[in-house]
Structure 1
Amino acid sequence: MALSVRTRLFVAVALTLFSARFVHAAEIYMDHKIPVELRVKALLSRMTLVEKIGQMMQIERSVANASVIRKFRIGSVLSAGGSTPEVNKPEAWQEMVDSFQSGALRTRLKIPMLYGIDAVHGHNAAYGATIFPHNIGLGCTRDRELVKRIGAVTALELRATGIPYTFAPCVAVCRDPRWGRCYESFSEDPSLVRKMTDVIYGLQGVGPPGLPFVAGRSKVAACAKHYVGDGGTRKGINANNTILSFEDLVKIHMVPYFDAIAKGVSTIMISYSSWNGVKMHANRFLITDVLKGKLRFKGFVISDYQGIDQITTPPDANYTYSVLASINAGIDMVMVPMDYKGFLSNLTSLVNSGFVPMKRIDDAVRRILRVKFSMGLFEHPLAERSYLHHFGVQGNKDVAREAVRKSLVLLKNGKDKSQPFLPLSKKATKILVAGTHADSIGLQCGGWTISWQGSPNDTTKGTTILHAIKTAVSKPTRVLHKASPERGYAARSKADFAVVVVGEPPYAEGRGDNQNLTIPAEGLRTIKNVCPEVKCLVILISGRPLVVQPYLHLMEAFVAAWLPGTQGKGITDVIFGDYEFVGKLSRTWFRSVDQLPMNVGDAEYDPLFPFGYGLRMDIKHKTP
């Protein structure tokens, strides 16, 4: 029987209303006016298992493209150390990131991809970016407001390349300078590391305490790393075993995470290391019970690069077990980074067979979506082209230059207090500048600069110490330069004084582990050849204290400059007396490696220079 006109009209209206309600429910997560937790709940309820696991994968840019991201619903992409576009320019970075994002935005649910990178002392992978001193130097400044500004500059330069997420800051408490990552640590003292977590406010902005928050498009999501105990491994060996009671683990290594979480850090990265023989990537107690439970961390937990592969010995001996152990331990996002198909297959099978509960998957995805919504990624998934004018500009360099001069630590000034050697005169007749590190941006910057391990070459833009000296002195002053002068050269030069700049080669992570901590041979030769023949200031470029006691008597003055980055003029600002030395050691300076590990507060403490040591020049009385 045919329906009446009235009945057909009623059905049409009902269907329209029903469709409208259905569409509204489906798209509620796209409405930025809706509270984040409701958006998360609405989106999560619509996701399939494949879509959820896709969000949990972070793949390397070298295997990523729009098609892969769309097909496998990839939630995140990263640049590993030194992984850059073929043309390393801000515009190329933007185009690359947006090309990946285009694949994510064409998926059924249009969940944007999150791009991450290790911006650990500025946007250090991008050519021409502002490179700051590494964290060991920033710890010597003890300047919380300065590190906030450094975080803000780093965020702006990241956004100028279209990147919204950095794997920083490192909040490791390095207890042994033999560790190759020691320069990534602000200090051996947990209380100082806690203070320096203020860099998170610069990176992310200030939001509700304890909740992931990114304050607009000029800020980025941050990542506190490496949870937990990475700086306390036996003999400072990278990714080794940290042997401590739980009480000492909390007191020394965990306390910076209290502050990072309170300041709203979006993500936390797990350490390669073990705690009392248990790999951190498989430690359910410390990740789920402590970090997510006791500490109430609301962001997402991310693995380190191929970190889950190292759960077994040898690495990747049983990948299925590694996936099982890491996900059930509480890791939410996994740096796969290459074999995303294998990860997807293994985790799907583990969920379908009941070995990984769906509740655990939902917890992971909920946390990832919470961060993406909180940072406004759904509203603004693409690069903001106008931010290009923030990249590598003079104002950013000025902040870096300030950081350099505040990080310098004066450890010796004259053979006795009555005859200080510094500040140096800008009106000297002749100055000899010697040493391998005097005229190399790559050596000034150290590891994690353009490439993963860094390079001794001038890999990016900047001002070397030699160039800074030449521009600081008066026009009549002659500046001689010889990287490796032979014995007798300094005497023949008839220089008024010498500035000797020596130090370590660049390194990163385990390749920097060093059980001897001696100044490289070429640097020692330069000190021995120059300093007995002419009064010299020795500037040490290094990621940690090195053995200097046997050579200290040869030097008139000695400055620890750490790894200062691209702004060499920050050094000449101070050694010529325009600014005072204000840096204080963030690490104990040992006499010999036999004393290691040795840290402030130890019962046996006999350092060459104690924690907190640092001289001043009293420049207000200097002779013009």
Structure 2
Amino acid sequence: MTHPLSEENRALIERLLGEMTLGEKIGQMTQAEKNSVRRGDVARLGLGSVLSGGGGSPKPNTPEAWREMVTGFIRESLASPVGIPLLYGVDAVHGHNNVVGATIFPHNIGLGATRDPDLVRRIGRATALEVAATNVRWDFAPAVSLPQDLRWGRTYEGYSQDPALVSDLAVAYIEGLRGEGWDSPTSVLPSVKHYVADGATAFGTSTRVNRLGVTLDHTLALARTGEGMRSLLNQGAWQIDQGDSPIDEATLRSVHLPPYRAAIEAGVLNVMASYSSWQGLKMHAHRSLLTDVLKGELGFQGFVVSDWEAIDQLHPGDYASCVADAVNAGVDMVMVPFDYERFIHTLRAEVEAGRVSGARIDDAVRRILTAKVALGLFERPSTDEALLSLVGCPEHRAVAREAVRKSLVLLKNEGNVLPLSPDLPALLVAGEAADDLGAQCGGWTITWMGGHGPTTPGTTILEGLRRQFGHPARVHYVPNGETSSRYPVGLAVLAEEPYAEGMGDRRELRLSPKHLALLARVRQQCDRLVVVLLSGRPLVITEQVPDWDAFVAAWLPGTEGDGVAEVLCGAAPFTGRLGFDWPLSQADVARTATSQNLWKIGAGLTPVSGEIPPLSPTP
């Protein structure tokens, strides 16, 4: 799709290119993390972008403080000699998820289960409004990955294993971020990621972390992963993420490329390159795929941004070659979170030595300026401060509740135990996750890895159940399931530990011993057992599910636990359908032509429960 820039705007871009020095052009190609940026450097170096990494929040972490922080960077960029407005970026992957108080929507795996493009479009619009309220105009989303090995820690970032469904939902989200037009005051630039075939990486091919330790990894050291890191490595962390995709070209083109084609046809102006490799060649150095296919064959007119410190992996110990190879391959803006001056000096030296051409630099900067002009940043570098009232507003939380309701997938329901009868004299609720907002949000929530407890405002599943039953005393919450009482129905809420990226890679996908012990206790004390699983992917439950009367895959629903309770209690119907195959055994977690499944894509029950009562309001 040709982006409809006016002749006046095209002339502006060419004029700026003609007036800029080489240093100013390289500045536009540089993206630094906000915690590393020294006062005055945005203006001195003409930096093109600043980002907040996962958890890169101001203190205090409030929408107002976010806006003040971002506005300061923008104001400084306008004071640079070239005066080009800065573009601030964040990982708003399920709402403006770094900001305390923002609406946190279900992760993409849950949205895929809704199969509802209109809903995803509205989520994109709500996210854009909350992001723009803080003066951020760039969202590192949507991920259009098609995860093939469920052990991958980014599985929940994928909508589905169906390329057509991924394309439809990605385009809807892009349309939501765009709103009335890219140049509208509340449009937010999407970053379609991670190009390409990151979902096809093979187990055991990741080289991100030395198996002997992580002391040389600056990012993980800053994340304070601590003593638990060795345990996670033993469980399979950093075995898949950023690894190699060994698939053939036909599979790459038929399965993994279509969402990018659809996104480009929808007018996207940014794509993020993947850490991963294809057949042994790192994507950040893959000129054929970045330049020939993406920019040539697909006609992409926007700019390619690297992932966090990703170019450093191309030639460890030879930074100049890392820089030259990435830029020559087609990376236009480089995310250098820690040492941006090193990148600037290195790229300048490579240009002056003739290893990177001036034409390649001009092409990169032209693409970056095209996106900034398209967003209207030159006319309106700041958004309306009144938008702050929309962050976490009731209207957006209502959309999130709708998304939660539509994302739940009912996979077993013996005797129609669900929806729960309003006449139950008492309901046993067990599992710490039932009252754990952090667990139901998952990773990429306030911090990179996410966390437990009330990390941000919202409602838990337990709170929602108490509201639905009307009499809180009828909902008996026993976190560990230890009770001497007998119940007609017991509801156990289980959850994966929060994780993100390669920290969530696992050798096996199974319920933990703690989960199994909880289930055994609850089963003994109830006539019928309902299990709700909060997870970023299907887990192998083939041996356990025969002992359950009902099973609900609730994914990672976000801050609106009311939505889960509403469906469990019949205030809204089950309508979700699996977007992923559910593996039968551990041998089937990596999807192949011979994999066996407990349930296939599209599975999901819709019990008939008579008239649906109206939804109760959230206080």
State TM-score, norm by structure 1: 0.90
Work out the CA distance in 2 between the residues paired with 1:622 and 1:536. Answer: 23
Q: Alpha-carbon deviation of 1:160?
A: 1.2
Amino acid at match of 2:289: L
**Is the 8 Å Cα contact of residues 66 and 99 (structure 1) preserved in structure 2?**
no
1:70 is matched with which residue? 43
Q: Alpha-carbon deviation of 1:35?
A: 3.1
Give the SS at the match of 1:392: coil
Q: Alpha-carbon deviation of 1:474?
A: 3.1
1:614 is matched with which residue? 604
Among 246, 256, 273, the alignment partner of 2:249 is 246
1:167 is matched with which residue? 140
- CA distances 1:535-559 after superposition (whole Å, capped 9, x unpaired): 1210000000001111112211000
**Is the 8 Å Cα contact of residues 440 and 495 (structure 2) preserved in structure 1?**
no
Q: Alpha-carbon deviation of 1:622?
A: 8.5
Among 203, 215, 230, the alignment partner of 2:198 is 230
Structure 2 residue 151 is matched with structure 1 residue 178: yes
Q: Alpha-carbon deviation of 1:596?
A: 3.1
**Is the 8 Å Cα contact of residues 437 and 453 (structure 2) preserved in structure 1?**
yes
Structure 2 residue 469 is matched with structure 1 residue 473: yes
Q: Alpha-carbon deviation of 1:520?
A: 2.2
Work out the CA distance in 1 between the residues paired with 2:479 and 2:241. Answer: 32
Among 428, 435, 438, the alignment partner of 2:434 is 438
Q: Alpha-carbon deviation of 1:132?
A: 0.4
Q: Alpha-carbon deviation of 1:286?
A: 0.3
**Is the 8 Å Cα contact of residues 141 and 193 (structure 2) preserved in structure 1?**
yes
- TM-align CA RMSD: 1.6
Structure 2 residue 490 is matched with structure 1 residue 494: no
Work out the CA distance in 2 between the residues paired with 1:241 and 1:229. Answer: 9
1:361 is matched with which residue? 361
Work out the CA distance in 1 between the residues paired with 2:22 and 2:357. Answer: 12
Amino acid at match of 1:227: Y
Structure 2 residue 384 is matched with structure 1 residue 387: no
**Is the 8 Å Cα contact of residues 27 and 48 (structure 2) preserved in structure 1?**
yes
Work out the CA distance in 2 between the residues paired with 1:180 and 1:623. Answer: 38
Give the SS at the match of 1:176: coil
Structure 2 residue 496 is matched with structure 1 residue 504: yes
Work out the CA distance in 1 between the residues paired with 2:430 and 2:572. Answer: 23
Equivalent residue runs for 1:382-461 within 5 Å: 382-414=382-414, 419-461=415-457
Q: Alpha-carbon deviation of 1:529?
A: 1.4
Work out the CA distance in 1 between the residues paired with 2:549 and 2:603. Answer: 18
**Is the 8 Å Cα contact of residues 90 and 388 (structure 1) preserved in structure 2?**
yes
Q: Could you say if the C-alpha distance between residues 300 and 623 of structure 1 is closer, same or farther in structure 2, counting changes exceeding 3 Å? A: closer
Work out the CA distance in 2 between the residues paired with 1:55 and 1:319. Answer: 20
1:539 is matched with which residue? 532
2:269 is matched with which residue? 266
Equivalent residue runs for 1:510-521 within 5 Å: 510-521=502-513
**Is the 8 Å Cα contact of residues 427 and 474 (structure 1) preserved in structure 2?**
no
**Is the 8 Å Cα contact of residues 33 and 52 (structure 2) preserved in structure 1?**
yes
Equivalenced residue count is: 573
Q: Could you say if the C-alpha distance between residues 476 and 234 of structure 1 is closer, same or farther in structure 2, counting changes exceeding 3 Å? A: closer
Amino acid at match of 1:53: I
Work out the CA distance in 1 between the residues paired with 2:103 and 2:251. Answer: 37
2:341 is matched with which residue? 341
Give the SS at the match of 1:550: coil
Q: Alpha-carbon deviation of 1:206?
A: 5.9
- CA distances 1:441-495 after superposition (whole Å, capped 9, x unpaired): 1000000000000001211010000010111103275211121123xx2xx2222
**Is the 8 Å Cα contact of residues 487 and 525 (structure 2) preserved in structure 1?**
no
2:317 is matched with which residue? 317
2:99 is matched with which residue? 126
Give the SS at the match of 2:272: strand
Name structure 1 gaps, 5 residues minimum. 1-31, 208-213
Give the SS at the match of 2:600: coil
Work out the CA distance in 2 between the residues paired with 1:206 and 1:234. Answer: 41
Amino acid at match of 1:113: L
Structure 2 residue 21 is matched with structure 1 residue 53: no
Structure 2 residue 593 is matched with structure 1 residue 593: no
**Is the 8 Å Cα contact of residues 434 and 484 (structure 1) preserved in structure 2?**
yes
Work out the CA distance in 1 between the residues paired with 2:574 and 2:10. Answer: 49
Give 1 or 2 for the bigger CA radius of gyration.
Answer: 1
Amino acid at match of 2:259: P
Q: Could you say if the C-alpha distance between residues 402 and 476 of structure 1 is closer, same or farther in structure 2, counting changes exceeding 3 Å? A: closer
1:371 is matched with which residue? 371
1:218 is matched with which residue? 186
Work out the CA distance in 2 between the residues paired with 1:435 and 1:516. Answer: 22
Give the SS at the match of 1:620: coil
2:549 is matched with which residue? 556
State TM-score, norm by structure 2: 0.90
Among 1, 4, 15, the alignment partner of 1:42 is 15
Amino acid at match of 1:481: Y
Equivalent residue runs for 1:93-172 within 5 Å: 93-172=66-145
- CA distances 1:116-161 after superposition (whole Å, capped 9, x unpaired): 0000000000000000000001000000000000000000000111
**Is the 8 Å Cα contact of residues 172 and 184 (structure 1) preserved in structure 2?**
yes
**Is the 8 Å Cα contact of residues 372 and 378 (structure 1) preserved in structure 2?**
yes
Work out the CA distance in 2 between the residues paired with 1:102 and 1:245. Answer: 48
Q: Alpha-carbon deviation of 1:66?
A: 4.8
1:326 is matched with which residue? 326
**Is the 8 Å Cα contact of residues 480 and 518 (structure 2) preserved in structure 1?**
yes
Structure 2 residue 171 is matched with structure 1 residue 203: no
Give the SS at the match of 2:476: strand
Name structure 2 gaps, 5 residues minimum. 204-238, 615-619
Q: Alpha-carbon deviation of 1:436?
A: 2.1
Q: Alpha-carbon deviation of 1:387?
A: 0.8
Work out the CA distance in 2 between the residues paired with 1:472 and 1:253. Answer: 42
- CA distances 1:407-437 after superposition (whole Å, capped 9, x unpaired): 00000001xxxx2111102232111110121
Work out the CA distance in 2 between the residues paired with 1:35 and 1:142. Answer: 41
Give the SS at the match of 1:608: strand
2:516 is matched with which residue? 524
**Is the 8 Å Cα contact of residues 46 and 82 (structure 2) preserved in structure 1?**
no
Work out the CA distance in 2 between the residues paired with 1:168 and 1:60. Answer: 17
1:482 is matched with which residue? 478
Moved more, 228-237 or 469-478: 469-478
Q: Could you say if the C-alpha distance between residues 82 and 318 of structure 1 is closer, same or farther in structure 2, counting changes exceeding 3 Å? A: same
**Is the 8 Å Cα contact of residues 33 and 337 (structure 2) preserved in structure 1?**
yes
Give the SS at the match of 2:111: helix
Moved more, 62-71 or 501-510: 62-71
Work out the CA distance in 2 between the residues paired with 1:452 and 1:261. Answer: 28
Work out the CA distance in 1 between the residues paired with 2:547 and 2:183. Answer: 52
- CA distances 1:355-403 after superposition (whole Å, capped 9, x unpaired): 0000000000000000000000111112421111111100000000000
